[in-house]
Amino acid sequence: MSSLDDAAAVITGASSGIGEATAHALAERGANVVLVARRREALESVADDVRSDHGVEAVVADGDVRDPATSQAAVEAAVDEFGDLDVAVVNAGVARGSDVATMTDKEYSVMQETNVDGAFFLTRAALPHLTESEGSLIAVGSFAGEYPRSFNPVYAATKWWVRGFAHSVAAQVGDEGVAVSVVNPSEVRTEFGSEDGEPFEERFEPGSVTEPEEVAEAIAFAASRPGSTAQEIDLFRRDKFADTL
């Protein structure tokens, strides 16, 4: 286990699921964390658990990633509280609707503004500090951002954007010492999908798909490379290719 002692990390979508698990995974390695999501009460609970379980500091920065001020405030909180920013995790993401012909303007906008704009806002706010610290930017992508899929092409397109954006940012800032990674899970047993029906944590039995802790371990691995970059990590359920392709 590589150490992140006294590192400072910002994590979006940190109130549950992959974000919550990532807070624990980074804190276990010694990082102090700034937790970002809309649900302040849930964030406070995660922060309390992180402090008691790992003996690090955890700061709550509640807000909507669709608002650029949220990412700016979270990065400033990391710098003010911990002196710098070493890790930024672009995790917040949503899916709404399904087929293009019946998708509402609101469903489309929520996905674009959260998955695309939110990723850009955090990256923009974080990069000057990650350049100073030679830190790591890690984006949570998706199987849907690597392969064509018939279900919800708009969600898939947002994840293709995140992946392409991250790799191009890597090309831009790699010579400044910043590591940029993409972690691509397939289905993960979280609250994901609850807005449109049954959440994945109820739809899938334990052991049948990826757990949030597995994704968090991949993120922590990417965050703790001392001189290299884990450019892309795929975490698919074992029958995903047989089922999909």
Active site residues: 155
Amino acid occupying residue 18: I
Cα(38)–Cα(5) distance, rounded to whole angstroms? Answer: 28
Q: How many CA atoms lie within 13 A of 220 on its CB side?
A: 27
Spatial CA neighbour of 91 closest among 236, 206, 192: 192
Spatial CA neighbour of 70 closest among 38, 113, 43: 38
Cα(117)–Cα(88) distance, rounded to whole angstroms? Answer: 15
With residue 34 as reference, give the H or E element that holds it: strand 32-36
136 in the Ramachandran plot: left (φ > 0), alpha (ψ -120 to 50) or beta? beta
List of residues 6+ apart from 151 with CB closer than 8 A: 98
Give the residue carrying structure tokens 């450019």: 231
